[in-house]
């Protein structure tokens, strides 16, 4: 039980290359205009838009204890 070889299936070379690429990705990363733009979008612009929408609509809906015929909007 303790000495059995559990890797009896050969590893697919494509999966091995993919794994090596993902493990070593930080070694080959370069800042380009495209990566800078995508980083700016994902770090600042999209969270800013989502935050603004959340701030603007905060408290607009009261979804607790609504009954049939009650209005959802409180404004």
Over residues 4-45, the pLDDT tens digits come to 666 667 788 999 999 999 999 999 899 999 999 999 999 999
pLDDT score recorded for residue 11: 85
**Mean pLDDT computed over 62-68:** 74
Is residue 49 included in any domain, yes or no?
yes
Is residue 54 included in any domain, yes or no?
yes
Is residue 75 included in any domain, yes or no?
no
Is residue 20 included in any domain, yes or no?
no
Q: Are 74 and 61 in contact (CB under 8 A)?
A: yes
> Can you read off the two tokens belonging to residue 59?
């408290």
pLDDT score recorded for residue 4: 64
Banded pLDDT at 61 (limits 50, 70, 90): confident
Question: What is the number of domains present in the chain?
Answer: 1
Is residue 17 included in any domain, yes or no?
no
Is residue 72 included in any domain, yes or no?
no
pLDDT score recorded for residue 49: 98
Which 3 state secondary structure label does DSSP give 36? helix
CB atoms within 10 A of CB 61: 13
Is residue 14 included in any domain, yes or no?
no
Output the CA–CA distances (angstroms, integers) from residue 3 to 6, 63, 67, in the order listed. 9, 59, 65
Identify the domain containing residue 43 by its residue range.
Answer: 31-62
Is residue 42 included in any domain, yes or no?
yes
């Amino acid at each position: 039980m303790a000495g059995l070889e559990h890797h009896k299936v050969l590893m697919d070379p494509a999966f091995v290359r993919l794994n090596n690429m993902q493990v070593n990705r930080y070694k080959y990363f370069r800042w380009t205009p495209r990566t800078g733009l995508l980083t700016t979008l994902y770090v600042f612009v999209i969270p800013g838009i989502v935050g603004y929408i959340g701030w603007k609509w905060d408290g607009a809906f009261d979804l607790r204890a609504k009954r049939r015929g009650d209005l959802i909007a409180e404004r």
